[in-house]
């Protein structure tokens, strides 16, 4: 049975910054629940980010890999991704990330999804694009980025998503959307 009442919002009573660097902010809130009880709630704020799945032609995509410190691994492929700077639109950030990480610029960016990367403790919104009509263009990567690049058949990227070899959520979602668009004839 579906209830037509929306869940009631929580009230933020106070906020305390616990930690901040140029990529994130961690805060601790004191919140009042709809039943009047209070709870401590931790929130990681990351802002907005972008990802672009660059098609070098109709059958092949450009992928990158780098050492990912949190998971201590460097063998998983992903698409170019990164944060949106305060003076950028999502499209501008997608082009910059594609140039920094892939050494290309897309003549056409096709928006495919915007989503919350975590619904409970992280405040971050990701904007995903497909890049088409790639032209060589590069920009210096961030000082913590060291990439390997490869052109892979899209079917191989899709296989790696379905077997969980690719685990980055932005890449997983973009590859699945690209497969859906291709299979629906909207390509």
Q: What is the pLDDT of residues 67-100, one digit of tens each?
A: 777 787 778 899 999 999 999 999 999 999 999 9
Predicted pLDDT at 73:
78
Predicted pLDDT at 63:
97
Residue carrying structure tokens 């590069």:
138
At residue 147, does pLDDT exceed 70?
yes
Topology adopted by domain 47-183: Nucleoside Triphosphate Pyrophosphohydrolase (3.90.79)
Predicted pLDDT at 143:
76
On whether the CB atoms of residues 2 and 12 are closer than 8 A, the answer is no
> Which of 163 and 71 is assigned the larger pLDDT?
163
Task: Look at residue 156 and give its three-state secondary structure.
Answer: helix
Residue carrying structure tokens 């700077």:
85
Residue 166 CB burial class (10 angstroms; 0-12, 13-18, ≥19):
buried
Q: What is the pLDDT of residues 126-142, one digit of tens each?
A: 999 999 999 999 777 77
Half-sphere exposure of 105 (CA within 13 A, CB side): 9
Task: Look at residue 166 and give its three-state secondary structure.
Answer: coil
Q: What is the pLDDT of residues 20-52, one digit of tens each?
A: 998 899 999 999 999 999 999 999 999 999 999
Percent above pLDDT 90 for the chain: 79
Predicted pLDDT at 114:
97
Would you list the domain boundaries of the chain? 47-183
Mean pLDDT estimate for the chain: 93
On whether the CB atoms of residues 84 and 48 are closer than 8 A, the answer is yes
Half-sphere exposure of 164 (CA within 13 A, CB side): 0
Question: How confident is the model over 160-182, as a mean pLDDT?
Answer: 96
Question: How confident is the model over 152-177, as a mean pLDDT?
Answer: 97
On whether the CB atoms of residues 167 and 68 are closer than 8 A, the answer is no
pTM of the predicted model as reported, rounded to 2 decimal places: 0.90
Predicted pLDDT at 1:
62
Predicted pLDDT at 138:
77
Predicted pLDDT at 152:
98
């Amino acid at each position: 049975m579906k209830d037509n009442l929306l869940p009631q919002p929580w009230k933020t009573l106070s906020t305390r910054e616990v930690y901040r660097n140029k990529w994130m902010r961690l805060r601790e809130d004191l919140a009042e629940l709809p039943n009047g009880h209070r709870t401590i709630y931790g929130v990681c704020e990351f802002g907005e980010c972008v990802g672009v799945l660059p098609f070098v032609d109709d059958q092949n995509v450009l992928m990158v890999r780098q050492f990912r410190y949190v998971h201590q691994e460097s063998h998983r492929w992903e698409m170019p991704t990164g944060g949106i700077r305060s003076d950028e639109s999502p499209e501008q950030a997608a082009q910059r990330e594609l140039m920094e990480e892939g050494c290309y610029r897309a003549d056409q960016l096709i928006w495919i999804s915007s989503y919350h990367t975590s619904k409970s403790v992280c405040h971050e919104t990701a904007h995903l694009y497909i890049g088409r009509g790639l032209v060589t263009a590069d920009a210096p990567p961030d000082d913590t980025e060291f990439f390997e690049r490869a052109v892979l058949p899209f079917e191989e990227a899709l296989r790696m998503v379905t077997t969980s070899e690719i685990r980055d959520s932005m890449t997983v979602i973009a590859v699945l959307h690209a497969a859906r668009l291709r299979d629906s004839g909207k390509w």
